[in-house]
Amino acid sequence: MTCSRPHLTSRRRFLTISAAALGCSGLPAAASTPVARWRGRAMGAQTGMVLVGLDDTGARRAFHAVERELARLERIFSLYVTDSQLSQLNATGILKSPAPELLEVLSLSDALNAASGGAFDPSLQPLWLLRARTAAQGRAATPGELDAARALVGWDEVRFDAGSVRLAPGMALTLNGVAQGFVTDRIAALLRGRGLHDVLVDMGEIAALGRRADGADWTAGIARPDGRIVNRVALRDRALATSAPEGTLLGANQGHILDPRAPSGAPKHGLVAVSADRAAVADGLSTALCLLSKEEAGQTLLAFSGARLETLEQLQEKPT
pLDDT, tens digit (0-9, with 9 covering 90-100), for 68-91 = 999 999 999 999 899 999 999 999
Give, in order, the Cα–Cα distances in Å from 254 to each of 13, 76, 122, 196, 267: 17, 29, 19, 42, 10
Q: What is the pTM of this model?
A: 0.88
Q: Which of 140-144, 147-151, 202-206, 223-227 has the lowest mean pLDDT?
A: 223-227
Note the pLDDT tens digit of each residue in 141-162: 899 998 999 999 999 999 999 9
Positive/negative CA dihedral, 42, 45, 46, 52: negative
Burial string for 107-138 (b: 16+ CB within 10 Å, else e) reads ebbbebbebbebbbbbbbbbbbbbbbebbeee
Positive/negative CA dihedral, 290, 21, 108, 115: negative
Mean pLDDT on 266-278: 88
Task: Name the more confident of 146 and 251.
Answer: 146
Q: Which of 267, 200, 191, 269 is nearest to 234 (CA)?
A: 200
In the structure, what pLDDT confidence band is assigned to residue 42 with cuts at 50, 70 and 90? confident
pLDDT at residue 46, as a whole number: 81
Per-residue DSSP letter, 36: E
State which amino acid sits at residue 114: A
pLDDT at residue 18, as a whole number: 40
Task: Name the more confident of 75 and 26.
Answer: 75
Q: Which of 303, 219, 225 is nearest to 267 (CA)?
A: 225
Work out the number of other CB atoms within 10 angstroms of the CB of residue 219: 16
Mean pLDDT on 101-130: 96
